[in-house]
């Protein structure tokens, strides 16, 4: 690994730690109210009404809570999928029909049971709700560092990519590498950012 790459990795690691700490400082009450506000805003957009197949994620306690979004889509007959880790830096979108059928997967994150769901090919997805630690208004994203989403998003070429994030997760600039994939739109509790792609 050359010096420039090492410096970039160190920069990403420092930013990741800083934003995770800021996100964890939010109170449960604030997190819930902010999540509800984002859901209300998002559900009024065409981005919510148009897709037929979506990939979401199971929110961790300190992330924007998106379960109500998935519940609404499921009630409308939309195919909803969650990530299923298949190998180092690799994942697939697996559909599910109810939350009771989810099982604990890698990193203790809920994932669909492969025997009950089906793998949705990346090119069939209309929309991906993309998790992340930090974002900037150009749509640049900093994830957890495993590379799962960057690898997957590069395969899901037709899907619109939207992030739901707390305003404390927005930064001036994300240190980017060539393989890092951008998002089209970011929704926070303070507004919507249509990113320049």
Q: Which residues of the chain have pLDDT under 70?
A: 1, 196-197
Residue 118's CB is within 10 A of a number of other CB atoms, namely 13
Please give the model's pTM, rounded to 2 decimal places: 0.93
Compute φ and ψ for 116, nearest 5 degrees: -105, -25
pLDDT of residue 116: 87
How many alpha carbons lie under 13 Å from residue 141 in its C-beta half-sphere?
29
pLDDT of residue 8: 82
Nearest CA-CA partner of 141 in 80, 89, 185: 185
* Count: domains in the chain: 1
Which structural domain, as residue segments, surrounds residue 23? 3-194
pLDDT of residue 124: 97
Contacts by 37-46 with C-beta closer than 8 Å and gap 24+?
37/189, 38/64, 38/164, 38/187, 38/188, 38/189, 39/66, 39/68, 39/69, 41/187, 41/192, 42/69, 42/162, 42/164, 42/187, 43/69, 43/72, 45/192
pLDDT of residue 197: 53
pLDDT of residue 113: 87
For residues 174 and 141, the answer to whether their CB atoms sit within 8 Å is: yes
Domain harbouring 188, CATH code: 3.40.50.10420
pLDDT tens-place string over residues 46-88:
999 999 999 999 999 999 999 999 999 999 999 999 999 888 8
Q: How far apart are CA 193 and CA 139, in angstroms?
A: 8
pLDDT of residue 196: 63
For residues 193 and 186, the answer to whether their CB atoms sit within 8 Å is: yes
């Amino acid at each position: 690994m050359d010096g420039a790459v090492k410096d970039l990795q160190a920069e990403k690691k420092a930013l990741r730690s800083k934003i995770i700490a800021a996100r964890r400082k939010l109170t449960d009450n604030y997190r819930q109210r902010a999540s509800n506000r984002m859901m209300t805003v998002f559900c009024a957009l065409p981005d919510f009404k148009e897709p037929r197949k979506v990939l979401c994620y199971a929110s961790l306690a300190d992330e924007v809570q998106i379960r109500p979004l998935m519940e609404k889509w499921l009630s409308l007959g939309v195919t909803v999928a969650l990530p299923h880790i298949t190998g180092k830096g690799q994942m697939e979108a697996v559909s599910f029909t109810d939350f009771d059928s989810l099982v604990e997967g890698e990193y203790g994150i809920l994932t669909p049971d492969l025997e009950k769901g089906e793998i949705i090919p990346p090119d069939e997805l209309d929309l991906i709700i993309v998790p992340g630690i930090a974002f900037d208004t150009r749509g640049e994203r900093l994830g957890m560092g495993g590379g799962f989403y960057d690898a997957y998003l590069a395969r899901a070429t037709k899907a619109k990519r939207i992030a739901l994030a707390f305003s404390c997760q927005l930064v001036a600039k994300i240190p980017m590498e060539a393989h890092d994939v951008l998002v089209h739109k970011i929704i926070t509790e303070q507004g919507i950012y249509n990113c320049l792609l």
